A = this chain, B = another copy of it.
Amino acid sequence: MEQRISLITLGVADLPRARAFYESLGWRGQQVEETVFFQAGGLAFVLWHEDDLADDVGLKRNPRHGFRGVALAQNVRSSEDVDAVVAAARSAGADIVRPPAETFYGGYAAYFTDPDGHAWEIAYNPGFPLAADGSLTIPDFG
């Protein structure tokens, strides 16, 4: 598993309110369906409805030892890389909360939680190319 992070996704209760908050701080995002993407250096900062995010991760929202409302992600270069990272995570003691599977956007992804329950998505998304250095640039959805 390469030592990098590609996205930070925050579960939010009210997407327009959350987007307005960050945009009032000067950030500029692009909304794609029910998600807002912000380019943040070499990574993407993402706002998404917390129920949808919890559903996607495969964890219950908000109980004491459940979903924290935050998911980290690492995008990789192929479906095979997803499988390989998930296998490594399982070997390291991760709980595979969502086994690798094809996604609605034509990619392939899985989620695991670390020993403290922090959620990580490992994803192959052919629509989000990675630079040679592993950095991710959000495509222009306009």
Contact = CB atoms under 8 A, between A and B. Distances in A.
Contact of A27 (B3, B11, B62, B115): B3
Interface string A6-33: 0010111110011001101111100000
A134 B40 CA distance: 10
Contact of A69 (B25, B27, B118): B118
Interface residues of A, number: 49
With a 10 A CB-CB cut-off, give which of A21, A25, A27, A115 has the most chain B CB atoms.
Answer: A25
B114 A18 contact: yes
B92 A24 contact: yes
Given A25-B89, A69-B68, A38 B3 contact: yes
